[in-house]
Amino acid sequence: MINLHWLILLPIIFGTVVKLIPLKTAKKLIVLFQAALLLSSAMIFIEVRKNGTILENIGGWPDTIGITLRADLLASAMVLLTCLLFLAMITFVQNKHYADHLFFFLFLSLESLIVGIFLSNDLFNIFVLIEAATLIITILIMYKKANVAIYDGMMYFLINVVAMSFFLMGLGMLYKKIGVLDFYALETALSQVKDPQSLILPYAFMITAVSLKAALMPLFSWLPKAHGTPSAPSVVSAILSGLYVKIGIYLFIRLQTAFLPLIDTSELFVILGFITAIVGFVLAFAQNDLKLLLAYSTVSQIGLIMIGINMGTPHAYWGGLYHIMNHAVFKSTLFLTAGMIITEYQTRNMNEIKGVFRHMPTVGVATVLSILGIVGAPLFNGSISKYLISYGSTGTWIEYGLIFINLGTIIVFVKYSQLLFGDSNKKETAHSDILEKAVVLCLSILCFLGGILGSALITLLFKVNFPVDLLSDGIKLLLFLASLLIGILIYYGLFKKKNYFAVFNSIELGFNEICLSITLFFAFMVVYLKITL
């Protein structure tokens, strides 16, 4: 087993070294390197699962003074997921013309930073890593140098700089009050604070930034610009939507755990998660652009995850964490297949794309398996995580709200699935790259395996046991079939000929409006905490 710091440093070191090697050879070496990194992350995960949390003090400094890396079960599982997805993406781009030395250096550097964020135990170090990742993501969004991509990339950069300024302000105030920024020491120190009111400002500053990173309502306007940028490489969109947005959720969990003895805002974030989920699928349904629909549906799924981790019941919490993993897999697959479809059909307009199943059969199969995952079809990964969240909300209004949210998701992907059928103007079967087809097919099969092996995987990943009995499987099947039938009837009966939500497409927040929404969210959090504490 390698040390934790090498798991962070090796990708960026290797990305630098391969610049000295001919590109054709470098591409093959990067795949082998990424496979080895995945194996190393798996070994660390096994060690953590077997013997508990791994702490590593860089430079031998005492705890809370130097840089400390921490690999607990959640962090090591997220690192494992990161290495798996980056292996898939690097394999996917092997034959892409834009995949040159610089692209691989930036891509591997981003992997280093993401792994570092998951393993870092210090809030200031996390701030630095996120700022560096923001710069790299901006360059990757603009990599093909299209005008729209440059605009979207700069919007993403500036908005995230503003948000992380709030985070830094909160850090400074917290450090002045407590004197530590290490998560372990922070939990201990906060438990000894007598006056919760003194922590309102630092908490509000940091949770505002984290809520923007997680794309919560009303701070999600930046996400479609970044994830749905027309010319951004599909692997960049897949990593951003499938993985990077989860950093906001991960930090949210860490912050909530640290502040819980004094500040509990879980009820508020259940409501915000619910609103986010509804607004997300409404705006997704309004889109005719392939990538924008997928980007807005990510907002909806983020809302669902936030409901799960804030419900306060074990089933809902672990269901929310498992949905993080599931969403990473099926949304990455959907973005990759969308990229392949756009390349083949030379359009992003879903009204102009028909017959994908016939013209691109492998892509069609992968898309269907991923859709079955995101809508929570029985035997697929989304059904397990959604069932646990629903079970954990039994007896509350959220139980029925979740049915409504999933119905909205079904309607969105009934619309999306239309591109699979019909007569295509493409007469011959597409000759897609074999590596691209292999990657999307393997990822989509994981959607199925994550369902039939769901209980075992949850036990493996989180050391908790939530068996699903056959009766509940039957109930899930009936509920899903009823929701699917209603979703099809609603779409074809009400929205097939006219999209009544299309009016929302004209609503686009500029930089000033987004900054205003950040400020208003912060002010709302301060007032809410003043009233409730």
Cβ-Cβ contacts under 8 Å for 414 (sequence gap 6 or more): 487, 488, 491
At 318 the pLDDT is 92
Q: What local confidence, expressed as pLDDT, does residue 468 receive? A: 65
- Is 242 within the bounds of a domain? no
Residue with tokens 């691209």: 436
Give start and end residues of each alpha helix (H) in 120-199: 123-141, 147-178, 183-190
Determine the Cα–Cα distance for residues 302 and 308; give it in Å rounded to an integer. Answer: 10
Q: Nearest Cα to 377, choosing from 336, 406, 400?
A: 406
| Mean pLDDT across 170-196 | 84
117 and 260 co-located in one domain: no
In this structure, are residues 251 and 284 in contact, taking their beta carbons and an 8 Å threshold?
A: no
CA atoms of 374 and 383, how far apart (whole Å): 8
The conformational region for residue 376 under phi > 0 = left, psi -120 to 50 = alpha, else beta, is left
| Shared domain check, 452 and 308 | yes
Last residue of a domain, one of 61, 90, 121: 121
* Distinct helix (H) and strand (E) counts, the chain: 22, 2
pLDDT of residue 428: 66
Cα gap 53→147, rounded to integer Å? 46
Confidence of residue 430 (pLDDT cuts 50, 70, 90): low
Angle (CA) 498-375-82 rounded to 5° is 120
Report how far residue 196's alpha carbon sits from residue 203's, in angstroms, rounded to the nearest whole number: 10
| pLDDT, tens only, 96-151 | 888 888 889 999 999 999 999 999 988 889 999 999 999 999 888 888 777 777 88
Which residues are CB-neighbours of 186 under 8 A, at least 6 positions away? 123, 174, 178, 180, 258
Name the residue with higher pLDDT: 87 or 312: 87
- Of all residues in the chain, the percent with pLDDT exceeding 90 is 39
Q: Is the pLDDT of residue 262 over 80?
A: yes
In 3D, which of 495, 98, 142, 80 has the Cα closest to residue 329? 80
On the CB side of 104, CA atoms within 13 Å amount to 34
Interval 16-70: pLDDT, tens? 988 888 888 888 899 999 999 999 999 999 999 998 888 888 877 776 677 888 8
Model confidence pLDDT, tens digit, residues 303-351: 999 999 999 899 899 999 999 999 999 999 999 999 889 888 888 888 8
Tell which of 121, 151, 174 closes a domain.
121
Q: Give me the phi and psi of 98, to 5 degrees please.
A: -80, -10
Specify whether 114 is located in the same domain as 261. no
3-state DSSP: the chain helix, strand, coil percent, rounded to 5? 75, 0, 20
Q: Which residues does residue 70 pair with via DSSP β-bridges, in sequence order?
A: 55
| Judgement on whether residues 114 and 260 belong to the same structural domain of the protein | no
DSSP annotation of 500 reads T
How much of the chain, in percent, has pLDDT values that exceed 70?
A: 95
Q: Which residues pair with 276 in a beta bridge?
A: none
Alpha helices (H) along 18-53: 23-51
Instruction: Tell me whether residue 452 is in a domain.
Output: yes
Planar angle of CA 67, 70, 75, nearest 5 degrees: 135
- Two tokens at 250? 């991960």
CB–CB of 314/333 below 8 Å?
no
Cβ atoms of 181 and 171 within 8 Å: the answer is yes
User: Measuring CA to CA, which residue among 460, 514, 329, 366 is closest to residue 49?
Assistant: 460
Distance (Å, whole) CA 499 – CA 282: 11
Name the pTM for this structure: 0.92
Task: For residue 358, count other CB atoms closer than 10 A to its CB.
Answer: 17
Is the residue at 353 inside a domain? Answer: yes
- Residue 521 has what pLDDT? 93
229 found inside a domain? no
Quote the DSSP letter at residue 289: B
Same domain, 311 and 456: yes
Question: Quick one: pLDDT band at residue 470, thresholds 50, 70, 90?
Answer: very low
Residue 516 in any domain: the answer is no
**441 pLDDT higher than 90:** yes
Whether 146 is covered by a domain: the verdict is: no
* Backbone φ, ψ for residue 351 (5° rounding): -70, -20
Give backbone dihedrals phi and psi of 259, rounded to 5 degrees, phi first.
-90, -10
Phi and psi angles of residue 487, each rounded to the nearest 5 degrees, phi first: -60, -45
Mean residue pLDDT of the chain comes to: 87
What is the mean predicted confidence (pLDDT) over 459-477?
Answer: 73
Residue range of the domain that includes 90: 1-121
CA 215 to chain CA centroid, nearest Å: 10
Residue where a domain stops, chosen among 73, 106, 121: 121
Dist CA 327 CA 518 (whole Å): 26
Which residue bears the tokens 């990822």?
443
pLDDT at 79: 95
Comparing CA positions, the residue from 343, 328, 419, 315 lying closest to residue 382 is 328
Residue 445 lies in a domain: yes
Lookup: tokens for 30: 């990067």
How many domains are contained in the chain? 2
Which three-class secondary structure state does DSSP give residue 349?
A: strand
In a domain, 512, yes or no: no
- Other C-beta atoms within 10 Å of 70: how many? 20
